[in-house]
Structure 1
C-alpha cells in the first residue's frame, strides 16, 4: 500500500506543479479587468473548446460516472449522455447570441436584456448558489482521491486544491486558467484512456473473470477473500444467501464471528468489518440492482426510476445552458461564430472522453464488488488498476489515474472560482482587479469551509442537483430572453424564484437527509422534471401579465443578439468601466502588474 501511495502522490504532485507553473506563466500578461474576467475576448475556438472541456469534466465525470455505472448499470448511462448532449442545446439556442450580448457575466446579461438591476442582483445570488453547490463536491473529491490512494486525511486534498486554484486565479484570472484548463483536458483524457485500454486487454486474458459474465442473473461475487470496513451505516440487500464473518454490529446486534445472511435486507453499523470468502455473492446497498441481469436492464425500478431518469435528462440537457462557469467561457470568444465553433468542438471532445469511464465502470462490477457493499463507488477508478494488476504496472496506472483525477478537481474548481469571483467583483465590489482578487479569496475560502466538515457526500448527486438549479433558473432566462421578445424583468424574476426555489429546497432537504438518516423521498434527489417546467410557465405567465413593462429598447437588444457578426452590432458592455483590451496592451512590458487602465487611477 505504501508503494502505491508514493506513486499516486508523485503523480498528484507533478500535476499540481505543472498547473501552478502554467498559471504563473500565463498570468504575466494579465493586467486589466477584461484580462481577469474574459481573457480579453481573444481565445481561439479550438483552445477555448479544450479549456471548456477541461473545466466541465469535473469530479462527477472523472470519478462518479464509472462509479454510477458500477452500481446502477444501464440507467447510469444517461449521465454521460446528458452531460454531452447539453452542449448540443447550448449550440442551437444560446452560444452565439450570448456572446453577441457583449456581457461579462450572467447577471450582466440579465441586466442588458431586461434593464433591471433587481434582476441582476437576483441572478448574482443564484450564481453564488450554483457555484458553491458545484465547487464543494470538487474539494470533497480531492479529499476522496488522496484518502483512497494514501493515508492522508481527506481534508488535506481539499486544502491543496483550494490553495493551488486560488493562487492561479489571483495571479491572472480567466487569462491564466484558460491555458491551464486546456492542458488539463488532455491530461484527463490520457489518464482515463490509457488505463481503460490496458485494463480491458487484461480482462480479455483473465479466464476466471470471463467466466462470470455481467449478463448473468446472479449477483456479483468476490474473486478472492475480501475484508470490507463499513464507514457509515448501510442497509444491504442480499440476493443470494451468503456466509461471512463480521466484527461490529449487524442487524442491531453485536457480531464477532461467523454470520449467515439470507435473502432480504440487513443493516450494518458504522465501523463494522465484514470478511467475505472467495466466491461469495456480494450484497449491495439497498436501492441498487442486486443482480447483474437487473444491472443491465434499464428502468428496473419501475415508475419511480422512470421519473428519476426523465428528471435527470431535464437537469443535464438543460442545466448545461445555465451553468455560470461554463457560460462565462463563451464570453472569451472573439465573436458569435467562434462561440458556435467552440461548442461544436466541445461536443466531440466530451464524447471521446466519456467512452472510457463507462468501460472502467463495467470492469469494476467484476473486480471491485466490495464497493457495492460500502456504497463508496466513486473510488472505483482509483482502485481498479492496482486491483487488476497488483504489480508495478498497476501502481503506475494508479498514479496516472490519481493525477488525472486531481487535474479534474483543479480545472473545474478554477473555472468555478473565476465565475464566482467575476460576479462578486462586478456586482458586489467596485470591479477592479484588486476587487477580483478579494472576491477570489472569499469564494475559495467559503467553499473550503463548507467542504471540510462534510465527511460524506455523493459527488454525482451533488452535481446533478447543481444542474437542476441551473436548469430551473438561468436556462429559462436565457432561452426566453434570447428567443422571446415578450419576456419582462418581473416574469424572469418570478420564474427564477419559483423554479430555483423548488430546486434549492430539494437540495437542502436531501443534504440534511443524507446527514441525518436518509429520510427524504428519493424523488427529491431529481427535482428538475417539476422545477424546470414550472420555471418556464411562471416566466411566461407573469411576463404576459406585465407586458406593459417591456424594456423600451427591446427591439434593438434582440437585433444585437441575432444579427450576423459581420454587421457590426456587437458592442461589449462596461468598456468605460473596465477599459478596452487595447488599454492593457499599451500598459504591459511582459511583467505581471496591477491594473493600469486610466479608469482605475
Structure 2
C-alpha cells in the first residue's frame, strides 16, 4: 500500500476517468430514443467506432491485470491467453460475424429462436447468457476492488460498488448508444495507460543493467495452479491445448461480444469491424507481456505472495520510486478503472437485453412494461447480482474466472452458432441436447474449480480446464441427436439459411 501523499495522483486519475465516463455517457443519451437504440444502437454503428468499442469492452480486467501476472509466474507459456483471445476474433470473422448480423436478431436467444423455431431453446440460451455474463462480470468487480485497495488503500468493496454504480448509471441512461461512445474512448485510454508507462519502464530497465527476464528466477508457483506450463508434462500439455480451444472458440459465445455485431449496419460492416478489432487487440496485447517480463526481474515479493494481479499496478513504484512512479501508477490505475467500466458496461447491456426481452414477453410474470422500462429494470438485476457475488465469493485470479467463462461459452454457444449457421440439419432437440451436455458438463467443472483446488493429476486437469472435452461433446451431441430427429427440422430453415449467407443488396423475393 502506498502513502496517502503518493496516492493522490491515483485518486485523481480514478475521479477523472469516472467523470469522463459519465460525461460521454450523458452526451450519448441524446441519441437514445427507442428500444432499438438501447439494445443495438439502431444498427447504425460504423466499423471503426464499433471496433474501438469492442476493443474497449473486450479488454477486461484479465487482459489489463491478469496476463502480466501469469507471464511473470509461468513465462512465455502464458502468452496463449492473449494469442487465443485475439485469434478468437479470426474464427468469429470467418464463421459467424456476417451471417449473425444478417439474421436480424437482437440477442443470442433471438437468433436461436429464429433459427430453430423453439421457445425451449430460447429459454436455455437465456439461462446460459446469464451464466456466462455473470461469471465474466464477477472478476471485473473484484479487479476494481483489488486496484483501489492496492494503490489507494480503500476496502475491496468500495471499488466493486463504485464500478457497479457508474456502469448502472450509464447503462440505464442511454443503453447501447451511450455505451458505444464510452467504450471507444476507454479503449484508447487503456492503450495509452499501458503504453506510456511501458516505455518508461523499459528505458529504466535498460539503464539499470538488470538481468534479462529469461535469466531471472521464476519465484512464484502457487498463484495459478489451475493452469500449468507445457514443461510440466502431459497434464500441462492437455491444459494448454484446452486453454487454446476455450479462448479460440469461446469468443463467439460471449454475449457482450456477439451483441456488438448486431449494431453494424450490415454483414459487410460486421466483417470490416472484426478485421479492425484484430489489429487493435493485436497491438494492445504486445504490452502486458512486457510488464510480466519486467516483473520476473523486479517483483519477486509480488510473485512470492501470490498477488500476481497487482503486478501492473505496483511495478512502476518498484522500478521508479518517487514522483515518476506515482504518476505512472496513476495513469495505469486510470486505465485499469476504465477496463472494469467498459467490460462491465458491455456485459450489463448484453445480460439486461436478454432479461428485458423475457420481461416484455411476459415470461417473468404478468407485469409487461415498455421495452425501455423493461431494459432499465433488467439492468439493475444484471449488475446487482454479480456485484453481490463479487463481494461474497472467495478471491479469484481475474484471468482464471474469465478463462472459465470462455470455456462455458465455447461449450454451449459455439456449437450452436457454428451448426446453426452452417448446417441445415440442426434441430431444436439436437440443440437442446448439446447445450445440456456442454453446459452441465462444463458448468460442473467450473463450479468445482471455483470452490476447490484441482489436484495435480489427470482428474484435476480435466476439471480445471474442461473445454478440450466439453466442446467436442457438445458438438457431437448436437450432431447425433439432430440426425436422430431429422424429421423435426424447421420448415423455414432453407429460406433462413439463404438469408444468413446472401450478401446485402440481393433481393431474396425476386423471382
Same fold at TM > 0.5? yes
Question: Residue deviations 1:490-549, cap 9 Å, x none?
Answer: 101110110111111111111121599x99824322110000000000000000000000
- Cα offset, 1:150, TM superposition: 1.6
1:379 to 310, 330, 334: 310
Aligned to 1:489: 428
8 A contact 1:513–1:519 mirrored in 2 = no
| Corresponding position of 1:444 | 383
- Partners of 2:220 and 2:190 lie apart in 1 by 32
Equivalent residue number for residue 60 of structure 1: 62
1:466 aligns with 2:405: yes
Cα distance in structure 2, aligned partners of 1:124 and 1:64: 29
Q: By how many angstroms is 1:406 displaced?
A: 0.4
- Aligned equivalent of 1:512: 451
Answering whether residue 212 of structure 2 is matched by residue 213 of structure 1, we say: yes
Q: Which has the larger radius of gyration?
A: 1
Q: 1:158 to 1:329 in 2, by over 3 A?
A: same
1:390 to 286, 308, 321: 321
* 1:174 CA displacement: 0.5
* Equivalent of residue 292 in structure 2, options 351, 356, 361: 361
Q: How does 1:338-357 map to 2 (within 5 A)?
A: 338-357=269-288
CA change 1:336–1:529 in 2 (3 A) is same
Q: Any residues of structure 2 matched to 1:132-211 within 5 Å, and which?
A: 132-207=134-209, 209=210
Verify the 8 A CA contact 1:509 1:520 in the aligned structure 2: no
- 2: CA distance between counterparts of 1:487 and 1:19? 43
Which residue number corresponds to residue 596 of structure 1? none
Deviation of 1:283 after TM superposition, in Å, equals 6.1
For structure 1, which runs of at least 5 residues remain unmatched after alignment?
221-281, 289-294, 571-601
Q: Distance in 2 between matches of 1:304 and 1:521?
A: 9
Shift of 1:75: 1.1
Alignment of 1:528 with 2:459, yes or no, is no
Alignment match of 1:498 (pick from 437, 440, 459)? 437
1:569 CA drift (Å): 4.8
What is the match of residue 101 of structure 2? 99
Distance 1:49 1:287 in 2: 31
Q: Tell me the TM-score normalised to structure 1 length.
A: 0.80
For 2:40, which of 27, 38, 41 is the aligned residue?
Answer: 38
1:112 aligns with 2:114: yes
Give yes or no for the alignment of 1:309 onto 2:240: yes
* Residue pair 1:510, 1:520 contacting (<8 A) in 2 also: no
In the TM superposition, 1:312-351 aligns within 5 A as 312-351=243-282
Structure with greater helix share of residues: 2
Structure 2 vs 1, CA of residues 40 and 368 (structure 1 numbering), >3 Å: closer, same or farther?
same
Tell me, in whole angstroms, the C-alpha distance in 2 between the residues paired with 1:462 and 1:490: 31
| Distance in 2, Cα, partners of 1:507 & 1:522 | 12
Aligned to 2:488: 549
Contact kept, 8 Å, 1:513 with 1:520, in 2: the verdict is no
Structure 2 unaligned regions, length at least 5: 362-369
Q: What is the aligned counterpart of 2:500 among 561, 573, 576?
A: 561
* Root mean square deviation, CA, Å: 2.0
Distance 1:568 1:49, change over 3 A: farther
Q: Which structure carries more strand by proportion?
A: 1
Q: What does residue 79 of structure 1 align with? A: 81
Distance 1:520 1:165, change over 3 A: farther
Aligned runs of 1:281-292 on 2, under 5 Å? 282=219, 284-285=221-222
Q: Structure 1 residue 432: deviation in Å?
A: 1.0
* DSSP-derived class of the 1:68 partner: helix
Cross-structure match for 1:573: none
Contact 1:122 1:493 in 2 (8 A): yes
C-alpha distance in 2, partners of 1:537/1:364?
A: 43
Q: Secondary structure of 2:231's partner? A: coil
Work out whether residues 9 and 327 of structure 2, in 8 Å CA contact, stay in contact via their aligned partners in 1. yes
How many residues align? The count is 497
CA contact (8 A) 2:223 2:308 kept: no
CA–CA separation in structure 2 for the residues paired with 1:373 and 1:509: 26
